[in-house]
Amino acid sequence: MQLSEKKRPRVMSGMRPTGKIHLGHLVGALQQWVRYCETADPYFEIADLHAYTTSFSDPQSIRDARNDMVIDWLAAGIDPQKCTIYLQSAIPEISELHVLLGMITPLSWLERVPTWKSQIGELGQHIATYGFLGYPLLQLCDIAIFRGERVPVGRDQLAHLEFGREVVRRFNYLYGEGKEILTEPEGTLSDFPEIPGTDGRKMSKSYDNAILIADDETTTAKKVRSMVTDPLKIRRHDAGRPEVCPVFALWKIVNPDHVPWVDRNCRSGELGCVQDKTDFAASLNEFLQPIRERRAEIAKDPRYVERIIDVGSQKARAIAAQTLHDVKRAMKLV
Ligand code: TRP
């Protein structure tokens, strides 16, 4: 037991508590996390400090989203016995490491991470803070403090991982004296790294195009009815192009067995978009039903979730303290 646990790779990933979990999180990240519970030694973080980098003016929403998000994780099948779930802000060692690594991180490395400019463009100049510039460094600290080897993330996060690897290499070069004090993390992508939302753009809370796990069946059906399809398929019997249709992309996830049938009948003009969406809404609700039932069950006992986070944070903190000690020793601080 002890030995096989030792051999399991250390996996670390996290999500910001900025709202309810949607289908994109479920198939992009959570299903991968569930598998890691069986094969790895995973650490899953509620990245509340990261949430403050963009939502600093709304602390209550971050506080409210924290437990809700963990309920969604558990409902999706994350087994709290097989992973460590913890709160980033409850591990002050992460913040201390952030200060230390900040000393060796060139500003130009942070400025060239693509999310820095693109997010300011999207969300506005008000988020151009010191904290937000440091977002990828804080993320590296999350990973490095647990010596994370593999980091399951979405495609948009790979640049953060690449940046993080450079910082680790620089740290080991400056202070390691030939040893690897910090571990270089590696990003892993899921089979479905990005899924489209109702408007065809990437599913995201900020685009208001997301289908939530916590939605009820009627809301889900309404959202599916509003989905865009092939813009050239105007009348029911027009031949459609499934490859440009977001509903088709979601069919592949929700019910792969049905995909060849939809493909054939959409192309031939046999299947109209209205009918397809009605079928899809039913299938999607069926797919989400067991998760929603578990969600309702878990939500009945808020103390259960609190306890999972407390116990996980205590365990995580002990490991973080050890890594921080090694870092400080290498830097001649202790
Ligand atoms: N930046 C990640 C996201 O927005 C969330 C995150 C924070 C994270 N810390 C992390 C992901 C550490 C992986 C590892 O999705």
In this structure, are 145 and 265 located in the same domain?
Answer: no
Mean pLDDT of 231-259: 94
- What is the pLDDT, as a whole number, of residue 219? 97
Instruction: Give me the helix-helix angle, 59-75 and 273-299, nearest 10°.
Output: 100
In this structure, are 324 and 175 located in the same domain?
Answer: yes
**Distance (Å) from CA 95 to ligand 1 centroid:** 15
Nearest CA to ligand 1 atom 9: 139
Q: What is the pLDDT of residues 5-34, one digit of tens each?
A: 568 999 999 999 988 899 999 988 898 999
Does 119 contact ligand 1 (Cβ within 6 A)?
Answer: no
Mutate to test the pocket of ligand 1, among 13, 53, 88, 186 (most ligand atoms within 8 A of CB): 13
In this structure, are 34 and 107 located in the same domain?
Answer: yes
In this structure, are 287 and 311 located in the same domain?
Answer: no
Q: Answer whether residue 202 is part of any domain.
A: no
Give the full edge-to-edge strand order of the sheet including 41-46: 84-87, 41-46, 10-15, 150-152, 186-188
Mutate to test the pocket of ligand 1, among 26, 50, 98 (most ligand atoms within 8 A of CB): 50
CA angle 81, 85, 91 (to 5 degrees): 135
Q: What is the pLDDT of residues 249-297, one digit of tens each?
A: 999 999 999 999 999 999 999 999 999 999 999 999 999 999 999 999 9
Longest dimension (CA), the chain: 74
**Distance (Å) from CA 236 to ligand 1 centroid:** 43
Residue 153, domain extent: 10-195+302-330
**Distance (Å) from CA 258 to ligand 1 centroid:** 34
CATH number, residue 169: 3.40.50.620
Q: How far apart are CA 63 and CA 51, in angstroms?
A: 10
Q: How far apart are CA 101 and CA 141, in angstroms?
A: 8
Nearest CA to ligand 1 atom 3: 15
Q: Which of 213, 216, 271 is nearest to 242 (CA)?
A: 271
Mutate to test the pocket of ligand 1, among 26, 142, 186, 206 (most ligand atoms within 8 A of CB): 142
Q: What is the pLDDT of residues 90-144, one digit of tens each?
A: 999 999 999 999 999 999 999 999 999 999 998 899 999 999 999 999 999 999 9
Q: For the chain, what percent of residues have pLDDT higher than 90?
A: 88
Q: How far apart are CA 178 and CA 241, in angstroms?
A: 57
In this structure, are 186 and 273 located in the same domain?
Answer: no
- What is the pLDDT, as a whole number, of residue 5? 53
Q: How far apart are CA 285 and CA 212, in angstroms?
A: 11
Query: pLDDT confidence of 1, banded at 50, 70, 90?
Result: very low
Q: Answer whether residue 16 is part of any domain.
A: yes
**Distance (Å) from CA 222 to ligand 1 centroid:** 31
First-residue to last-residue Cα distance in the chain: 35
Tokens of 136: 């990828």
In this structure, are 183 and 243 located in the same domain?
Answer: no
In this structure, are 47 and 187 located in the same domain?
Answer: yes
CA angle 99, 104, 105 (to 5 degrees): 85
In this structure, are 68 and 183 located in the same domain?
Answer: yes
Q: How far apart are CA 241 and CA 155, in angstroms?
A: 26
In this structure, are 168 and 250 located in the same domain?
Answer: no
Mutate to test the pocket of ligand 1, among 15, 113, 156, 190 (most ligand atoms within 8 A of CB): 15
Strand partners for 196: 202
The pTM for the full model equals: 0.92
- Closest atom of ligand 1 to 88 CA is 9
In this structure, are 183 and 219 located in the same domain?
Answer: no
Nearest CA to ligand 1 atom 6: 14
In this structure, are 326 and 283 located in the same domain?
Answer: no
